[in-house]
Structure 1
Amino acid sequence: MAPAAVSVNIPNSYEELNLTHVKISHHPAGSSTATPVVIVTLNRPEKNNAFTPQMADSLELAFRTFHLDSRVKVVVLTGAGRMFCAGSDLEIGFGDGTGRAVDFRDIGGRVTLAMHRCHKPTVVALQGSAVGVGMTMTLPAAIRICHEKSKYGFVFTRRGLTIESCASYFLPRLIGLSRAMSLITTGSVFPGSSKYFGDLFTEVLPEAGQVLPRALELAQDMADNASTLASAMSRALMWEGPTSPEAAHLLESRIFHHMTGQSDYKEGVNSFLEKRQANFQSDPYEKSPQNYPWWSEVDIKLVPLASKESKL
């Protein structure tokens, strides 16, 4: 079931939030307030970070908050302990399939949509193995970094389940339909260096201990040098762009025209000419183009039920 709509309170410090099965840290460590780079850690190491409804609630709230918080520029997602995520906690399960299918919303999908809709890019540091929703939840991220010898896979068919977390949309677009069909149909698990993943992982590192530091290095570079507004709009153009070159040209032209009127464009040019680091300030939540989103959004809210009184 989808949770009821809640108001989002932006905290002074994310480290003070009391989230279930998730921990948020500032980077660099020691800051008493939110930093441009924040680290979100799946925090059930005793259960190999197996995914739970409470973890989904925590992640969904976190990404919704980052979306609204102009202080946050990049999110790093990782796991505590030796595994990134062992998939859904099968001891909890998913229900028994009773009730109306139209009322069901998979919890992994809620998380991936929150990540996808967040203007701030996510870098995933898969420091250990990940299967099932542990893989599908990472698909909307801008960058995924993994460990060469850890095992990764989309094991749904081996559990009698179909894919979720919007994977039927994201995975073929990331690695191609042929590779996605193979991974999903077999449900097999492979090391991070396997050819079957194609370009799913931006970097594959030989040591597990290298994964999070490298993710933080990339995240800090983006936070320091890339416009959050330009990054958000560019990713949206690629994910939800038109279906023809001509339509892409027209849309890109409109968005490009909008960007030339923003302070980030002026700052980007001036910092380059003055040979200094840029100080981008445009908040995508406030400065997105008037025609954003330029696609038709699908309503995912639950279908309301008619009361008995209304039928009389």
Structure 2
Amino acid sequence: MQEKSIILSRDKAVLELRLNRPDFLNAINADMAKSLLAACQDIASDRSVRALLISGQGKAFMAGGDLNAMQANPEGIGKNIIDPLHQAMLLLTAQDAPIIASVHSRVAGAGVSLMLNADFVMAAQGTRFNLAYVNIGTSCDCGASFLLPRVVGLRHALEIALLGQSLEADDAKRLSLINHIVPAAALQAESMALAQKIANGPTFAMGQMRRLLRQSFETDYESQLNAEKKAFQACVQSADFKEGVAAFFEKRPAQYKGL
């Protein structure tokens, strides 16, 4: 019986989405792309998920696309792989629950693109990053052309994208591709600790904040101010706002419910 290419597991309000094609370094084929979309559809409809942790099973986080599958059917790549992946990325960025990518060893191609869609990135020591698309004669997907220059700046993005060279973890951190570097043995525990901390926060407000920050590159200042006002007004109607204010005056930790 074939193993699932995406595994979902729950730890309180944290949902872990684990890429599970370890024999292929979690390289994406059509089945995995469709499974990822189905998982993201389930996550988008589940408000009890208050943080999403994305990780990879086996020796690497993700080595990009499955080149054997792509070579066998190049005409079908757009429909069978890119379309479901892009739908999945839209669902991930639209949800309230923040996303933590927990990466290790090798992160290449679509692995880098998927990582860029996360809000936080925890990387194991020794992890290497390579956007890699140019190395097989393709342009990028999964939002890399949109997100990479916003994360590292246009000049660095062009260098990363056009040269196809690998980056060590220290360089990736210097460029803000990742947030933290941790010992490989501690990656899972450190990533889950961060996810649990986020899951204990005011999820609805976090969702408003992450959308405001992401859209800020595309709007003028007045439009952004109006969007901030709308988001703030929505937040003050939430139960978490009432709890946050009460906890402030009562000098106690807030007990947010994500509502």
Aligned pair in 2 of structure 1 residues 270, 19: CA closer, same or farther (>3 Å)? farther
User: Is 1:238 aligned to 2:213, yes or no?
Assistant: yes
1:1-312 matched pairs, under 5 angstroms: 20-27=4-11, 35-93=12-70, 95-97=73-75, 105-194=82-171, 198-205=175-182, 207-224=183-200, 226-241=201-216, 243-283=219-259
**Contact kept? 2:10, 2:16, Cα under 8 Å:** yes
**Contact kept? 1:26, 1:37, Cα under 8 Å:** yes
Q: In structure 1, how many angstroms separate the alpha carbons of the residues matched to 2:69 and 2:157?
A: 28
Deviation of residue 237 (structure 1)?
0.6
Q: In structure 1, how many angstroms separate the alpha carbons of the residues matched to 2:22 and 2:74?
A: 27
Give the TM-score of the pair, scaled to structure 1: 0.75
Aligned-residue identity in percent: 25
Aligned residues: 256
Q: In structure 2, how many angstroms separate the alpha carbons of the residues matched to 1:129 and 1:103?
A: 24
Instruction: State the AA in 2 paired with 1:25.
Output: S
Aligned pair in 2 of structure 1 residues 193, 249: CA closer, same or farther (>3 Å)? same
Deviation of residue 23 (structure 1)?
1.1
Deviation of residue 128 (structure 1)?
2.1
**Contact kept? 2:89, 2:142, Cα under 8 Å:** yes
Aligned pair in 2 of structure 1 residues 113, 19: CA closer, same or farther (>3 Å)? farther
Deviation of residue 195 (structure 1)?
5.4
- Please identify which structure carries the higher helix content: 2
Aligned pair in 2 of structure 1 residues 282, 218: CA closer, same or farther (>3 Å)? closer
**Contact kept? 1:106, 1:164, Cα under 8 Å:** no
Q: What per-residue deviation string (whole Å, max 9, x for no partner) do you get for residues 199-242 of structure 1?
A: 1101122x212222111111101111x11100001111111235
Q: In structure 2, how many angstroms separate the alpha carbons of the residues matched to 1:195 and 1:216?
A: 21
Aligned pair in 2 of structure 1 residues 96, 182: CA closer, same or farther (>3 Å)? same
Instruction: State the AA in 1 paired with 2:85.
Output: G
Instruction: State the AA in 1 paired with 2:208.
Output: M
Q: In structure 2, how many angstroms separate the alpha carbons of the residues matched to 1:201 and 1:104?
A: 26
Instruction: State the AA in 2 paired with 1:248.
Output: Q
Q: In structure 1, how many angstroms separate the alpha carbons of the residues matched to 2:7 and 2:173?
A: 32
Q: In structure 2, how many angstroms separate the alpha carbons of the residues matched to 1:104 and 1:60?
A: 10
**Contact kept? 1:107, 1:165, Cα under 8 Å:** no
Deviation of residue 130 (structure 1)?
0.9
Gaps of 5+ in 2: none
Deviation of residue 282 (structure 1)?
4.7
Q: In structure 2, how many angstroms separate the alpha carbons of the residues matched to 1:135 and 1:158?
A: 14
Give the TM-score of the pair, scaled to structure 2: 0.90
Deviation of residue 196 (structure 1)?
8.2
Between 1 and 2, higher relative CO (CA 8 Å, sep ≥ 6) is seen in 2
Q: Secondary structure at the match of 2:17?
A: strand
